[in-house]
Every structure is written in structure tokens, then in C-alpha cells.
Amino acid sequence: MEKLIGRNLNISIFISGRGSNLLSLIKHSKIKNSKIKINLIISNNKFSKGLEFAKKNKIKYHIIDYSKKKQAENKILGYLRKNEIDLICLAGFMKILSSDFIKKFKNPILNIHPSLLPKYKGLNTHRRAIENKDKFSGATVHLVTPKLDSGKIILQKKIKISKIDTEKTLAKKVLKIEHKLYPAAIEKFLKSLVFKEKV
């Protein structure tokens, strides 16, 4: 990570669908003094609504056919290299990156996950929280490692689950906090690189 210090970093956001986190990051990148600079968007889904935000904001994007994972990942690595990407932020990217990809990319990868990790790794986080009658849920931004949803936590935000919450209402509440949490976590992470702080 040493080589990342002291210059603007190029960020690539990976998406698969709606792209509301991508939109919040684009909005945040426009705020004065924001360190977030989005250079490239990768989507495994040509119908991803998030691609509209890329087009509207004139951010370069690539749609990747994921039917053959190894080929798809090699193609992505090529685009990342070409665009000198320093940091990947997964924002609703519903493919699991191989350990080979993580190793070859070499730079950090962040992910936002809709639960209070280490609770509820994987899918259907809101359903599981409701079924278990949890009192709290939330969202977590963490570093990506080959072990699913298990890397170091950068930032986490907790919210209360009310008795009348359903999987749908909880998903909506958590998404709302994600939109603030992800930009804050990225800024924190970038700052930690500049000042060589521990995150």
C-alpha cells in the first residue's frame, strides 16, 4: 500500500443492479474536498440500473460477461491495470471474487454488506435478522479477503429493528444508512493510507 500514499487515488466501483450506493458515492465525490474519485465502473449485468448513473455522469464503464468466471476476472484485471485503479469498492456486486483475482489485483478492495458483520455473512441478511428476532441490524464496510465477508471492518453503523419491521422495511432502513456509511468509510480508509494510520 506504500505506493498509494501522496497522490490522488483512482477508484473503481463494481455493481450488479440498482446502483443506489454507486449513486451516493458519485454524489459524495462531487462534494468539495472529497477524496473520492471514481474512474471506472464495472458491472456484470448489462441491465444494471447503476449503469445509467455512469452514463449520466460520464464515468467510464465496462459490462462484463460472467458466464466464464476466470475469463471475466482476467478481463476486469486488464481494465483495472489500464485505468491504473488503486482501490476497488464493491457496491452491491453480487459475484464472489476469486482469491486469485484478489491476489493479482494487489491493491485494497472494500465491500459494503447489509448486516452487522460478523453476523449474517452471505445472502438474505434482513430475512435472517427478522427471523431471529434481532433487536438491531445495520451495515458494515470491510476489506475484502478470500474468505467471504470476513475482512477487517472499516466502519459499521447500527440501527434498531422495530417490532413491525419486515424484511422489506428493514432493507429500506439499512440501505438508507449505507448511503452515508460507504462514503464515510472510504474517506476514512483513504485518510488512513495517507497518514499510515491503522484502520
Residues that bind ligand GAR (CB under 6 A): 15, 17-21, 91-92, 112-114, 175, 178
Q: How far is the CB of 111 from ligand GAR (least distance, A)?
A: 6
Unique residue bearing C-alpha cell 482501490 = 87
Q: How far is the CB of 7 from ligand GAR (least distance, A)?
A: 28
How far is C-alpha 139 from the chain's CA centre?
A: 11
Phi, then psi, of 174 in degrees rounded to 5: -65, -40
Pairwise CA distance, residues 28 & 53, whole Å: 13
Q: Which is nearer to ligand GAR, 20 or 39 (CB)?
A: 20
Q: How far is the CB of 100 from ligand GAR (least distance, A)?
A: 20
**Type of residue found at 154:** I
CA-closest candidate to residue 85, choices 145, 154, 30, 8: 8
Cβ pair 197, 36 in contact under 8 A: no
Written as nine digits, the cell of 147 is: 474468505
Q: How far is the CB of 196 from ligand GAR (least distance, A)?
A: 29
Q: Which is nearer to ligand GAR, 21 or 39 (CB)?
A: 21
Strands 153-160 and 136-143: antiparallel
Q: Which is nearer to ligand GAR, 88 or 193 (CB)?
A: 88
Residue 142 is a catalytic residue: no
Residue nearest to ligand GAR (CB): 92
Q: Which is nearer to ligand GAR, 25 or 193 (CB)?
A: 25
Pairwise CA distance, residues 175 & 178, whole Å: 5
Catalytic residue among 28, 113, 126, 142: 113
Residues designated catalytic: 113
